[in-house]
Chain A
Amino acid sequence: MTRPPLDVERIRRDFPILRRMIDGQPLAYLDNAATTQKPRAVIESLVKFYERHNANVHRGVHTLAEEASALYEEARSKVARFIGAAPEEIVFTRGTTQAINLAARAWGSRNLRPGDEVLLTAMEHHSNIVPWQLVAAETGATLRYVPVTDGGELDLAEAERLIGARTRMLAITHASNVLGTVNPVERLIRRAHAQGARVLVDAAQSVLHRRLNVALLDCDFLAFSGHKMLGPMGIGVLYGKRALLDSLEPVEGGGGMVGVVEADRSTWRESPARFEAGTPNVADAVALGAAIDYLLGLDPAGLLAHEADLTARTLAALRELPGVRVFGPPASPGRVGVISFAVEGIHAHDVAQLLDEQGVAVRAGNHCCQPLMRRLGVAATVRASVAPYTTAAEIDRLAAAVTRAQHVFGRG
């Protein structure tokens, strides 16, 4: 390959926070699966909105209100183009969690009955389990789970067996926030559709690492958060097929989502306004648009290759360490750069703290995946996760820091 590698040093200059020192050492930020850092373009977009355009949307005729409305709808269009959807199919939410709750409630309460099955997987985040538990309790539907193999992948034979005539919804993560596993969602979506089931894809962990196209995926719903793809916190997206969204009742009532309001009843606007009651998070939506612009300005092939290189380097470095158990699939492209591991004899929180003392930021815990932790037979894991600004040197620091943690605990 003659393609020039991604200019990571240049990307790093766009992220002011990466200059921070932690205990006298440069920050090695490897907690990107929890939230990514923000480029200056995103931060400036927020400041610019509040300094120049701030007004409430849709309900004013003055200049600022029109500017704010135009910026908000422009952000929606950017999101739509980014994932291959139409703007009417993009509902802004607070994040993935609210997006899944909205889909589960709006779709589930209308379409689930006793005996119906909602099929999840054993590697779902709590935010793609609990909303379905709530709607199942309300409707009498049953939850089933596709099991995870010892290798950290979905048991596809079992998945195909479980997708049956009773399945009304398959709600599945695109990429695991613990194992990094990228699931073959296209295949499962086809299978589910053949049985007349709907499919929701949780794209929170894939949206940064894989180019998504809902038209190709043919999923019915897709959810993701802005803050895990270089955008601000507090903004996320529920994509839904237009006819499907328009067939659903609103979950929240308030301003902006109604047509005619009478004393005892109201009519609803079409999607997406129907699902955006009240003043939306305009500034963060606009900044999410800036994050999309930023991502689209980076070489897509370079990004993919960089992420694959970092993932391979992390896996190789950790596997070389004695007493370290690495979870999840062996290599890209079947996984993203979200790597969980356990260090024999040292609690995950102790590992994370000792890494922090060396400037290496990782996450430790159950990662909002208690069922998966039980499947893996651990209470908690340490998790390192990469982003476009992550360097190979930071991965080397991670491995060295784990070794040092083992020495501190007398395990090295």
Chain B
Amino acid sequence: MDSAFYREQILEHARHPRNSGRLDPADARAAVTNALCGDELEVTLNLSRGSIRELRFLVRGCSIAQASASMLSELLAGVELARLGELGRAFRAMMQDGAVLPPALATLAPLAAVRQHRSRVRCALLPWEALEACVAPPEPVSTSKVQKRHP
């Protein structure tokens, strides 16, 4: 029943995404596209002494991208930018290899249900890609177009 329960949580976030929209002005912004399906996701951040003060995700995509962004947005307030890399690696390890999530990411556990549909794992990673593009120079990724702007 886990998967049905998880799916319900994913759907709930997809229907009512938290922190949805765009901060204007914003301290940092990045947009990513999943070329495989055309989904678009934009993150805007406001910072305070090296930590995330507030953030918004604007998602034009499937329920998994929506829910992943929504769940993530709920746990990032106050998180130091320097920790994003480590958290992103931990989330990827869970999505791609089934690793256990660290306590800081425990609320993202429902997304593990996406693992059984490998073609959709990328959808769950999309908000992380945007976030990482926001705080680090984008790496060349053949399937995504990354724009970065620090106003």
Interfacial residues, chain A to chain B (CB-CB below 8 A): 346-350, 353, 364-366, 370, 373, 379-380, 408-410
Contacts and interface: CB of A to CB of B under 8 A. Distances in A.
Interface string B40-54: 100000000000000
Contacts of B60: 379
23 contacts: A347-B63, A348-B62, A349-B37, A349-B120, A349-B123, A350-B62, A350-B63, A350-B64, A353-B117, A353-B120, A364-B37, A365-B36, A365-B38, A366-B37, A366-B38, A370-B38, A379-B37, A379-B38, A379-B39, A409-B11, A409-B15, A410-B11, A410-B15
Interface in B26-73: 36-40, 60-64
Majority DSSP secondary structure for residues of A touching B:
mixed
Nearest to A379: B38
Nearest to A364: B37
A368 to B, nearest CB: 11
Contacts of B63: 346-347, 350, 409
Interface of B: 11, 15, 36-40, 60-64, 117, 120, 123
Q: Which 8 pairs, one residue from A and one from B, show the smallest C-beta to C-beta distance? A: A347-B62, A379-B38, A349-B62, A350-B63, A350-B62, A365-B37, A366-B38, A380-B37
B42 to A, nearest CB: 15
Nearest to B33: A379
Given A373-B38, A379-B37, A410-B11, 4 more contacts: A353-B117, A366-B38, A379-B40, A409-B15
A370 B120 CA distance: 20
Nearest to B114: A353
Among A349, A380, A408, A410, max chain B CB count under 10 A is at A349
B50 to A, nearest CB: 35
A53 to B, nearest CB: 38
A350 B37 CA distance: 12
Contacts of A349: 37, 62, 64, 120, 123
